Structure 1
């Protein structure tokens, strides 16, 4: 896309590279570089188990660029900043083990013999190592941001834990790369969406800050209203709706990207979108991937529509009734 349409699509290489020397890429979409438009940031696959997220972000990007049904109102009215894959090491690692028999994740980490023939039951981290001979490795990137880091725990989770937040904030290359990039964007970003996944069958969520605290965000009424609008417009075929609430309502989670964007960067609207995603899915069955991708795109665009509706952007009033164009 960047090669074919350099005037409207620009590829940015985030730095530093990952532990396995992979690049993290952002694709910046601007229909008109001469005018400053509200910015939308979409970030995917911080958790290496969300295999379908890069597909969803790239397919959404393709639609924004090349499908006239999406260019107005979505592409022409906003600048988009798309990061499909934050944790390539974690994704490659889990996909390389997909055909092996499952073993409890902590047993897998500690049993070097078993780890040669099995896979961990789940893997939420990257693959960086603090010591070369350490059987337990990896840091949970979404616990590694310097905003109320570790406020949700009394002591640091052990290295084998899938919630290990690192020995200090921003100890991972991935979190550093995101920090540098989002601060460069600064106040250009008005809406940020972390596209994640729910691994609970028939449980899907739209979450907003705070995740580290039960204290309500100053903007929580707007965040809830936009989230509920998106949930209604992303209803499943069986009638099921996303659950929409503050992230800490389920469990307190500190050091997350979403709280960092809201609390440090100062982004006004921040969401975590979690459509259902099977663990280690069988992608020879394309329907599972297509369902996740379709749901993700619909939900992201519904959040944008909910935001537009809340600000009356491109809305005219006819005989007392608001009509969006």
Structure 2
């Protein structure tokens, strides 16, 4: 038997340093675009045989490239792919941290090597809305104002911030209202776009879906990347956030319709398994159901991945996240990150359980590991 050097772990063609990150989180400040870019660059430089960093195009209105971090333990073989996209919503401040934390564990924590890193290829987009995240970060110290009033009042913008901001910061040239700007990226995908409304919400609305599908650079860039991956992906997760205390969800398509998908029973079972495994700190479990059970939302990322790209297993994970959290107190961030990472991995385990990948048979009895 060949033994790896102490402090190393063999993964595919490369022996990598094991650096257990333990129970605490490594990235203890809310990640901005610069942090995501620096971490991605470091991964690519230190572990080029297992990490590939992709700059998506087109660039955003703020001249930023959405970054994808691809983790493959063995470039010589193709394994089931897991896609995770976070922070399409500019209020999901903790989602980039959670995805960076997950990548850190997959790469450098021995307890996550098997089964999570060695058995799958991972495609991670920590920050799907870099302009919106930066915009909301920059305004955090100002007093809040109703977002619609803020958008309509140029003077108020000098000394207030919108109480919530879920959009990017683009400014469509054909807009009839030059004061208002921004598109809700998660309503800008071309699958039953605007099927949930009778008329287009006004430009100042936080749920403005764009003038047409894929009018936002962010949705275009993610579409090109996801379409290119295609059937490489077996499981897709949109890491979002719930902004209502004690309302936390594991959801699955459809969001635009109450019609059920053909595999809704499988999605429900995987979601319920994950909810039991990732029990919330106060003992509650995530609510698990079809996305449209609470509210119909059309043009979403999860429905596009399911309905157009054709991925069977698609989930929307929404741990609670405070809007405009106190940046000097990272306790909210720590809780969100731990919940998000635990839930993502529990969904993967639920998927494995549904296909009996989690089990070994002893004397005719299946034992889960």
| Equivalences for residues 19-98 of structure 1 within 5 A | 19-98=61-140
Within 5 Å, which residues of 2 pair with 1:1-325?
Answer: 1-131=43-173, 134-325=178-369
Q: Which runs of 5+ in 1 are unaligned?
A: none
Unaligned runs of 5+ in 2: 1-42
CA distance in 1 between counterparts of 2:322 and 2:365 reads 42
Q: Partners of 2:89 and 2:365 in 1: how far apart?
A: 43
Task: Say which SS state the counterpart of residue 2 (structure 1) adopts.
Answer: helix
For 1:217 and 1:52, how far apart are their aligned partners in 2? 30
Cα displacement (A) at 1:134: 1.1
**Structure 1: how far apart are the matches of 2:363 and 2:132?**
54
Q: Distance in 2 between matches of 1:206 and 1:316?
A: 28
Residues in 1 aligned to 2:255 and 2:362: alpha-carbon distance in whole angstroms: 41
Matched position secondary structure for 1:154: coil
Q: After superposition, give the CA deviation of every residue in 1:192-231 in whole Å (9 maximum; x if it has no partner).
A: 0000000001110001000000000111000000000000
Residues 271-295 of structure 1, C-alpha deviations (whole Å, 9 max, x = no match) = 0000000000002111110100000
Q: Once the two structures are superposed, what CA deviation does each residue of 1:75-131 show, in whole Å capped at 9, x if it has no partner? A: 000000000001010000011010111000100000110111000010110000024
4+ runs deviating over 6 angstroms: none
Q: Distance in 2 between matches of 1:268 and 1:315?
A: 22
Return the alpha-carbon distance in structure 1 between the equivalents of residues 198 and 216 of structure 2: 22
Deviations 1:45-101 (A, max 9, x none): 000111111110001000000001000000000000000001010000011010111
SS of the aligned residue for 2:156 comes to helix
Give secondary structure in 2 for the equivalent of 1:57: helix
Name the count of aligned residue pairs.
325
**Distance in 2 separating the partners of 1:246 and 1:84:** 24
Tell me the C-alpha RMSD between the 2 structures.
1.0
TM-score (norm. length: structure 1)? 0.98
The Cα offsets for residues 11-37 of structure 1, whole Å up to 9 and x where unpaired, read as: 000000100101100010000111111
Give distance in 1, aligned partners of 2:117 and 2:74.
Answer: 10
2:349/2:358 contact within 8 Å kept: no
Q: Distance in 2 between matches of 1:116 and 1:87?
A: 23
CA distance in 2, matches of 1:51, 1:238: 22
2:25 aligned partner = none
TM-score by length of 2: 0.87
CA distance in 2, matches of 1:262, 1:297: 22
Could you tell me how far apart the structure 1 residues matched to 2:368 and 2:48 are? 31
- For the residue of structure 1 that corresponds to 2:118, the secondary structure is helix
